[in-house]
Amino acid sequence: MTSDVSAPPGPGGARPRPTGVPDTYLELLADLQGGFLDGVRSANPEARVPWCGRWRVRHLVVHLARIHHWAAAQAARTREVPLGRGPFVLDELYARCARELRDTLGGLDPDATTSTLLGPGPVTFWHRRQVHETLVHLWDLRTAAGLPATAPAALWADTVDELVTVMQPRQVRLGRMEQLPVRVRVEAHDTDRAWTFEAAPEVAPRPDVVVTGTAEELALVLWRRRGVDDGGVRVDGSREALDALLGSRLIP
């Protein structure tokens, strides 16, 4: 198994695409958005999405549409025009915002400097960020509708990588979560990749807990879509150490 992150991030946290997925994140984004739109048109808008609090499918759809709209403005460095409060025709709203994001990202130089969650960085940051936002919410939508949700293991591993290399450092920097008092290591046995979450400088390098599973199961646990005790992951070491991570504001 590889030791921690296998490819260093570029400026703004951008990374090369994971092996085993389409040639560009934009191609992948289009595929995921198409799957989400298909789900919007077939799912019951009042179906519950229990791992997202009180949300129904309709809330999920509006949320992802707003995120796409906001991300397009961030990437283009333009003022976001509010979408309003609705009510919305869900498939029309999502199709419009998804297309806006793709057209915006596709029309920008991928290496141009823009605003990212980590400060100035390349437009490709948003290619990757919106792929993972869409992937997780596509899982939400299909699972809420009682349908299977599948994606390549390499893509789920890249989701874990983003949490470790982008989300956690950002949340710590913004004061939304404290530096971890322990070291948590996660290992995806189906992709031969492993990561160790950042901890306070004085914490010993040896991990307090190692969590092993498929990349998908690890991503879903870290995104709080699955519980540690739901099956699919193995925990070796301090459960308290893992709970300290999962109980933090790892996810914005």
CATH number assigned to the domain comprising residue 129: 1.20.120.450
Model confidence, pTM: 0.90
Is residue 111 situated within a structural domain?
A: yes
What domain count does the chain have? 2
Q: What is the pLDDT of residue 7?
A: 37
**Domain span at 31:** 22-144
Same domain flag for 62 and 137: yes
Is residue 47 situated within a structural domain?
A: yes
Same domain flag for 132 and 33: yes
Q: What is the pLDDT of residue 92?
A: 98
Is residue 26 situated within a structural domain?
A: yes
Q: What is the pLDDT of residue 8?
A: 37
Same domain flag for 64 and 175: no
Same domain flag for 223 and 181: yes
Could you report the per-residue pLDDT of 67-119, keeping only the tens digit for each? 999 999 999 999 999 999 889 999 999 999 999 999 999 999 999 999 999 99
Answer whether residue 125 shows pLDDT above 60.
yes
Q: Of 144, 167, 187, which marks where a domain is finished?
A: 144
Same domain flag for 60 and 166: no
Q: Of 117, 144, 171, which marks where a domain is finished?
A: 144
Could you report the per-residue pLDDT of 140-173, keeping only the tens digit for each? 999 999 998 989 999 999 999 999 999 999 999 9
Percent pLDDT > 90 in the chain is 84
Answer whether residue 44 shows pLDDT above 80.
yes
Assess contact for 87 and 59: CB atoms under 8 A. Answer: no
Same domain flag for 229 and 198: yes
Is residue 41 situated within a structural domain?
A: yes
Is residue 149 situated within a structural domain?
A: no
Answer whether residue 6 shows pLDDT above 70.
no
More confidently predicted of 4 and 170? 170
Is residue 120 situated within a structural domain?
A: yes
Same domain flag for 202 and 233: yes
Answer whether residue 208 shows pLDDT above 90.
yes
Same domain flag for 216 and 183: yes
CATH number of the domain enclosing 233: 3.30.1050.10
